[in-house]
Amino acid sequence: MSKRLLFLKAIIWQIIGIIWITSFSYLWFGNWNKSFLFSFIIMVISIFIYVLYEMVWAKLFKNNKKI
C-alpha cells in the first residue's frame, strides 16, 4: 500500500472516529468547544500513530503473506 493511500485511509478512519469521540467527550466536558478541541488533538495524534503502526506491521509481516 502506498504511503499516500495509507494516509488517506487513516484520515477517513479519523473522520469516523472524531464523530464518536466528540459525542463521548461532550458527555464528559459538557461543552462543545472543549469537545471539538479534544477530538481534534486526539485525531491528529491518532493519524500518525496509525500510520506508524501500519508501517511496523508491514515490515514485520512482509515475508509472511498467509497472516
Angstrom distances, CA of residue 4 to CA of 21, 44, 50, 51, 64: 25, 16, 13, 10, 24
The per-residue pLDDT for 24 is 93
- Give pLDDT tens digits for 8-36: 987 898 788 889 899 999 999 999 999 99
Prediction pTM value: 0.61
Residue 16: CB atoms within 10 A of its CB come to 9
The per-residue pLDDT for 61 is 87
Q: Where are the domains of the chain?
A: 3-60
Q: How confident is the model at residue 67 (pLDDT cuts 50, 70, 90)?
A: low
- Give pLDDT tens digits for 34-43: 999 998 898 8
